[in-house]
């Protein structure tokens, strides 16, 4: 595992974990309020056949915060384009969890020549005004700081909670979710402005323009993605399929690691073997 950095739009530096491996590149995109280390439990199992990388999206993880406060879906999509256009690794598979999905759909629609296949895990297909209003109405207060990393880690919570991840997995994510300030205190790596200026977005409309193979994965116990929404998203793709993992919640890549790995390998191998 090594750390890469890419220059994206607005001159932002984006951090990317390179898990190594041989073969076609697979770019993993985390969800909202998450970071690249969410993939530490699935990515290593794919490196025997693929070159696997996980990007920290702007304002998340070890990537730079946007001074402009721009965290629209289009901004994330343009960042993705900047990274893939300049990394010299060729055309990747895109695998996205939750909020990483809509920018990935938009990218696959606009740049079909740059995507081998698209996997969407627990992706809500439409951001409507009611949902965005709830995000904008969150209390606008200064970020909380902590006297020590241990104190910061104790504050860490998954939203929504995981139903299958062991405590050590959650502890691992917590350990990588904070950074130290110059005064010695600790702060969450997430820019709290993400989500505050987003506009409504219809991923179904964009999905109709996606020509590569698409796999939509829904957790059977999720409250974040309704069954009908997942069906519509898969049906909108020209070459789409839908799979449900029965005992997983929204944090499907933590709840059902083995099943997610199995589905990914099957999907990636099928497309690779077809040429």
Domain annotation covers residue 61: yes
pLDDT tens for 139-187 read 677 889 999 999 999 999 998 888 888 999 999 999 999 999 999 999 9
Report the number of distinct structural domains present in the chain. Answer: 1
- Would you state the pLDDT for residue 160? 86
Q: Domain for residue 203, yes or no?
A: yes
CA 61/CA 77 separation, integer angstroms:
17
**Beta-carbon neighbour count of residue 156 at 10 Å?**
14
Residue 245: CATH number of its domain: 3.40.50.1820
Q: Is the pLDDT of residue 133 over 90?
A: no
* 108 burial level (CB within 10 Å; 0-12, 13-18, 19+): buried
135: in domain? yes
**Is residue 16 in some structural domain?**
yes
Determine, yes or no, domain membership for 14.
yes
pLDDT at res. 149: 97
Task: Tell whether pTM > 0.85.
Answer: yes
Summarize pLDDT for 177-228 with one digit per residue, the tens: 999 999 999 999 999 989 777 889 999 999 999 999 999 999 999 999 999 9
Tell me the C-alpha to C-alpha distance, in Å, between residue 87 and each of 7, 21, 54, 115, 121. Answer: 10, 16, 13, 14, 25
- Residues of the chain with pLDDT > 90, as a percent, come to 87
Q: Which residues contact 41 (CB under 8 A, 6 or more apart)?
A: 169, 253, 254, 257
Average pLDDT for residues 113-119, to the nearest whole number?
Answer: 98
Span 7-43, pLDDT tens digits: 999 999 999 999 999 999 999 999 999 999 999 999 9
For residue range 244-275, list pLDDT tens digits in order: 999 999 999 999 999 999 999 999 999 999 87
What is the model's pLDDT at position 136?
67
Q: Name the pLDDT band for 92 (thresholds 50, 70, 90).
A: very high
Give residue 151's pLDDT.
98
**Statement: residue 74 has pLDDT above 70:** yes
In a domain, 262, yes or no: yes
Does 101 map to a domain?
Answer: yes
Name 201's bridge partners. Answer: 127
- DSSP conformational letter for 248: -
Do 77 and 110 form a contact (C-beta atoms < 8 A)? yes
Would residue 171 count as lying in a domain?
A: no
Full domain range(s) for residue 19: 2-142+193-274
């Amino acid at each position: 595992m090594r750390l890469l950095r890419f220059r994206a739009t607005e001159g932002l530096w984006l951090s990317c974990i390179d898990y190594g491996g041989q073969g076609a590149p697979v770019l993993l995109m985390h969800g909202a309020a998450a970071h690249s280390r969410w993939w530490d439990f699935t990515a290593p199992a794919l490196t025997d056949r693929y070159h696997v990388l996980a990007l920290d999206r702007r304002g998340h993880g070890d990537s730079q915060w946007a001074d402009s406060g721009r965290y629209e879906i289009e901004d994330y999509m343009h960042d993705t384009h900047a990274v893939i256009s300049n990394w010299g690794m060729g055309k990747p598979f895109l695998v996205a969890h939750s909020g990483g999905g809509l920018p990935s759909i938009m990218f696959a629609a606009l740049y079909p020549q740059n995507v081998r296949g698209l996997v969407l895990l627990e992706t809500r297909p439409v951001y409507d005004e009611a949902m965005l209003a709830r995000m904008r109405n969150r209390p606008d207060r200064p970020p909380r700081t902590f006297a020590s990393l241990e104190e910061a880690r104790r504050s860490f919570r998954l939203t929504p909670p995981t139903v299958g991840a062991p405590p050590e997995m959650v502890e691992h994510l917590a350990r990588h979710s904070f950074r130290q300030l110059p005064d010695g205190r600790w702060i969450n790596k997430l820019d709290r402005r993400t989500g505050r200026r987003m506009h409504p977005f219809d991923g179904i409309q964009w999905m109709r323009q996606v020509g590569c193979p698409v796999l939509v994965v829904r957790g059977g116990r999720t409250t974040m993605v309704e069954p009908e929404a997942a069906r519509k998203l898969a049906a909108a793709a020209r070459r789409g399929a839908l799979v449900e993992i029965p005992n997983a919640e929204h944090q499907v890549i933590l709840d059902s690691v083995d099943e997610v790995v199995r589905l990914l390998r099957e999907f990636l191998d099928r497309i690779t073997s077809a040429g």
